[in-house]
Amino acid sequence: MRQVVTAPAGVLSTVAAEVDPTDPEIVALADELVAIMRVSPGCVGLAAPQIGVSASVFCVDVTGHPKAVTTHGAFVLCNAKIIEASRWRPGREGCMSVPDLTGDVKRAGRIVVEGLRPGTGEAVTLTTDAFEARAVQHEIDHCAGKLFLDRVAGAHAIYQRKVYL
């Protein structure tokens, strides 16, 4: 199993390549992302760039998280794009690729996302809100070469992490 890479690794600031979701290597990558997420305490999402692979693939599962309102269980999307975003509000975020910091990031509280399922290539439209919407946006940012630090309002909105899960 691959390890999570941390900033300033170049792959984290590079726009990830779109993928063929039916490619067996992409299907295996999707499985590996979910496996790493499952064994990482407190992790609710993981994108391929976070394990050193420049591919537009990520997984999310906020099931059981106290901030979750809507949850679709564990899912993986390839080449995902946000097509609607509304109800913007700030919230605290952390990231396994930036292990020592958290930050306040303004994100949409409701989104509609289009992507492709690994394996079948089936087109998926996902509507979600609250914490799951935040997690999806965070992972899409990874695929776009952005970290949450790129979205904070300034140095006043960055904090030392107080709890390590």
Measure the N-to-C terminal CA separation of the chain; round to a whole number of Å: 20
Nearest C-alpha neighbor of 45 from the set 89, 97, 87: 97
- The whole-angstrom distance between residue 90's C-alpha and the CA centroid of its chain comes to 17
72 is in an annotated binding site: no
What tokens were used for 84?
Answer: 């609607």
78 is in an annotated binding site: no
Nearest C-alpha neighbor of 23 from the set 141, 116, 113, 123: 116
Q: Is 59 helix (H, G, I), strand (E, B) or coil?
A: strand
65 is in an annotated binding site: no
Q: Which of 32, 93, 132, 139 is catalytic?
A: 139
32 given a catalytic annotation: no
Helix ranges (H only) for the chain are 24-39, 130-143
Q: Which residues are annotated as a binding site?
A: 95, 138, 142
Q: Which residues are annotated as a binding site for Fe cation?
A: 95, 138, 142
Report the catalytic residues.
Answer: 139
